[in-house]
Amino acid sequence: MNIINKIIILSILLFTGIGTVSAATGLNVVLSNQNPDPVSPGNFVFLNIKVSNIGTDDINNAKIKFIENANFKLAQGEKKIKQIGTIPAFSNSESSGSYYIGKYKIFVDPNTPQGLNTIKIEVDTQKNSLEYEFDILVQEANPTITISNVEVGVIEAGSSGKIKLELENSNSAILNDIVLNLNLNDVDDKILSTKSGSNQLVIGSLDPNTKKTAEFEIVVNPEAQAEPVLLPITISYEDNLGNTYTQDLSTSIKIDSIPQISFKLDSQDIFTSGNGKITFAIANPGTSTVKGVQVEILPSKNYEIIKGDYEYVGNLNPDDFQTIQSQIFIKNPNKTTLNIKLSYSDSYNLKKEEILQIPLKIYNKEELKQLGLAGSINSNNSTTSIIIWLIIVVIFFFIGKKMGYKKAKKTKKQE
């Protein structure tokens, strides 16, 4: 061995870490790469261990051995010991192609702490046995927090209610500095607000595979319509390596509003027994749409429905107003209540039904005269009678006139 080669070998030995190169043998062992890097707990990692010889003499009968520990185990079917054989001198350069790559598939235990964890490799040669340590970076890949359960009842417009969000850390590592934020300003029409306190909640930490419940009390705007609304949620947190993550989630809040229908008598043109028209006014004074409104006048022995016993109104939006008309014959003026059935569905398509009793305005003859409604006594019949009497009067007028003419003519002839 010439002096130059000796200087080169001595320099390499001085500047190479202990456990990577053996000064006695010229053995050089390095962790070439890990894949994936970092590896998540509970997953497999592939390790390439490069074994080379920086010495001037060949190394014979070499073999490499992976030493298992609590965090790193050989995958099923992997051989713990791999035979290398002879490692030629000066085989450490990439161009030599004489170095050896020991490939291992390793399972990372789910309870492995995040960060750098040590593996051990043993290389045996004809002359000695050496042990090497390498650091494997273990880190949860994009750890996530899930909302595993949401508890929120139906909240009426103008009322308050509690939202319970169950947060779950299904990862193998602890998560810290968890900030839960309800993005109330992003809700349509900004109909949600907090009853007290903040829309933000901080949780110090969440251990692996554990859950914690976050609770908020929110208020729904009185003008909110009865429908589900989407509530955006932002969650930010850190892993134990100080890496920060942010998630955008959402949940649904059901807003309810009791459907309201106003059904009133609008006008009538009959105020005693007989045939007449009745007009009803129907409106929606509430804040939610009332769907598929149907109006039915139920039969009774006290009146007869001539026309308009059923009316399909359809959807009534908030503040909608309509009138419907029916023609009835009042049989008994002493019992003047109409029985009305309203059928409809609320915003969540739940069917509802109401039976209303609508009293008619009925007066006797004296009251009709006092109110100036004398002509309304059996108005349709009265009108018909007047027409008939007018026709009779006209007929008799012409008959009388004709008879008078004939009589006058006869008298004139007799003269």
Mean pLDDT in each 10-residue stretch from start to end of the chain (415 residues)?
45 41 71 91 92 89 94 94 91 80 93 90 90 92 86 87 92 88 92 90 91 93 88 91 89 88 93 92 91 95 94 93 94 87 92 94 85 60 55 69 58 51
Looking at residue 408, its pLDDT comes to: 52
Q: What is the structure's pLDDT at 376?
A: 55
Sequence letter at residue 252: S
Q: Shortest CA distance to 91 belongs to which of 101, 82, 81, 83?
A: 101
Q: Do residues 343 and 280 share a domain? A: yes
Q: How far from chain centre, in Å, is Cα 148?
A: 13
Q: Examine residue 298 and state whether it is found in any structural domain, yes or no.
A: yes
Handedness of CA 400, 405, 408, 414 (dihedral sign): negative
Structural domain contains residue 385:
no
Examine residue 205 and state whether it is found in any structural domain, yes or no.
yes
Asked whether residue 119 is domain-assigned, the answer is yes
Reported as type and span, the H/E element at residue 285 is none
Q: Residue 366: exposed, middle, or buried by beta-carbon count in 10 A (0-12, 13-18, 19+)? A: exposed
| pLDDT the model gives residue 9 | 44
Q: Which residues pair with 27 in a beta bridge?
A: 53
* Short-list 13, 42, 19, CA closest to 31: 19
Residues 95 and 49 in one domain: yes
Q: How many CB atoms lie within 10 A of CB 115?
A: 15
Which domain range does residue 223 map to? 145-256
Token pair of 245, please? 């993550």
Q: Are residues 116 and 87 in the same domain?
A: yes
Using an 8 Å Cβ cutoff, are 255 and 229 in contact?
A: yes
Q: Give the model's pLDDT for residue 402.
A: 65
By C-alpha distance, which of 385, 360, 386, 364 is closest to 373? 364
Q: State the pLDDT at residue 242.
A: 84
Looking at residue 415, its pLDDT comes to 52
Query: How many domains does the chain fold into?
Result: 3
Q: Specify whether 286 is located in the same domain as 164.
A: no
Pairing of strands 115-124, 129-138: antiparallel
pLDDT of residue 8: 44
Check whether residue 280 and residue 182 sit in a common domain: no
Give yes or no: residues 20 and 68 share one domain: yes
Last residue of a domain, one of 113, 138, 163: 138
Q: Would you state the pLDDT for residue 368?
A: 82
Check which CATH number belongs to the domain holding 302 and give it: 2.60.40.10
Whether residue 191 is found in the same domain as residue 294: no
Report yes or no on 402 lying in a domain: no
* 333 falls within a domain: yes
**Chosen domain end from 205, 223, 256:** 256
Yes or no: say if 307 and 327 are a contact pair by the CB < 8 Å rule: yes
If asked whether residues 152 and 210 sit together in one domain, one would say yes
Does residue 67 belong to any structural domain of this protein?
yes
Same domain, 251 and 267: no
Q: Tell me the whole-structure pTM to 2 decimals.
A: 0.58
Cβ-based burial of 295 (10 A; exposed 0-12, middle 13-18, buried ≥19): buried
Q: Are residues 206 and 281 in the same domain?
A: no
161 and 130 within one domain: no
What is the secondary structure of 352-372 as a DSSP string? Answer: EEEEEEEE-----HHHHHHTT
pLDDT of residue 401: 64
How much is the pLDDT for 306?
Answer: 94
pLDDT given for residue 19 in this prediction: 41
> Which of 215, 232, 256 is the C-terminal boundary of a domain?
256
Residue with tokens 């994936």: 36
Domain assignment present for residue 406? The answer is no
Q: Which two tokens stand for residue 381?
A: 């019949």
With CA atoms as reference, report the closest residue to 282 among 346, 358, 361: 358
Q: In this structure, are 18 and 126 located in the same domain?
A: yes
